[in-house]
């Protein structure tokens, strides 16, 4: 059920415009250094095998989110939106990199995506007052209403 929802968020027909020219994959910095799937291959798999195959593959996350692929695509396939839809779907199935889970958990718990020791001292070193606390109650209530718990417990 959850896997089908993706095409509500991304018009599948857009993918038919793809030439499979690989200009996107050829420009992709992640493909050059890691065993990523690459935008061209991702689109081909979505069309031929259905996106199920893609969202179960953890290599889906090997990406810089730099959007060079979409920028250079001669057909202007909205690749950035496709990748968001696919990863959202993957996350619902529990396919999320561990580091990313920690990052969004921290955000949901503290209202910020970063944490350091001795923050006040560090800020004082630069002549700055302590950072006011984040509006964490409001953030958590908003996240409860948006259905964030479908993906992450917090």
Name the residues that contact other proteins, by CB under 8 A.
9, 29-30, 32-34, 61-68, 70-72, 76, 78, 80, 83-85, 87-88, 91, 96-97, 99-100, 103-104, 107, 111-116, 119, 122-123, 125-128, 131-132, 134-136, 138-139, 141-143, 145-148, 150-152
> Which residue, 48 or 66, is less far from other proteins as judged by CB?
66
- Smallest gap from residue 4 Cβ to other proteins (A): 16
- Smallest gap from residue 41 Cβ to ligand SF4 (A): 9
State which of residues 46, 60, 73, 85 lies at the interface with ligand SF4 (CB under 6 A): 73
Tokens of 72: 């250079």
Between CA 30 and CA 71, with CA 24 as vertex, the angle to 5 degrees is 100
Q: Quote the CA–CA distance of 27 and 32 in Å, as a whole number.
A: 9
Q: Could you write out the three-class secondary structure of 61-122?
A: HCCCCCCHHHHHCCCCCCHHHHHHHHHHHHHHCCCCCHHHHHHHHHHHHHCCCCCCCCHHHH
Query: Any idea of the CA torsion for 119, 124, 126, 127, to the nearest 10 degrees?
Result: 140
Burial class (CB in 10 A: 0-12, 13-18, 19+), 58: exposed
- Each residue 10-49 as x (binds ligand SF4 by CB under 6 A) or -, in order, gives --------xxxxxxx--xxxx--------xx--x------
- Smallest gap from residue 15 Cβ to ligand SF4 (A): 8
Give the residues lining the site for ligand SF4 (CB under 6 A).
Answer: 18-24, 27-30, 39-40, 43, 63-69, 73-75, 77, 79
């Amino acid at each position: 059920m959850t896997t089908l929802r993706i095409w509500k968020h991304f018009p599948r027909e857009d993918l038919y415009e793809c030439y499979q020219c690989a200009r996107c994959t050829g420009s992709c910095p992640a493909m050059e250094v890691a065993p990523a799937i690459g935008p061209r291959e991702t689109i081909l798999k979505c069309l031929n095998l259905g996106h199920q195959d893609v969202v179960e593959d953890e290599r889906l996350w090997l990406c810089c989110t730099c959007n060079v692929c979409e920028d250079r695509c001669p057909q202007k396939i909205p690749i950035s939106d496709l990748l968001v839809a696919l990863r959202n779907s993957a996350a619902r199935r529990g396919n999320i990199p561990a580091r990313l889970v920690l990052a969004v958990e921290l955000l949901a718990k503290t209202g910020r995506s970063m944490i350091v020791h001795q923050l006040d001292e560090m800020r004082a070193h630069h002549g700055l007052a302590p950072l006011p606390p984040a509006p964490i109650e409001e953030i958590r209530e908003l996240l409860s209403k948006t259905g964030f718990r479908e993906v992450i417990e917090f």
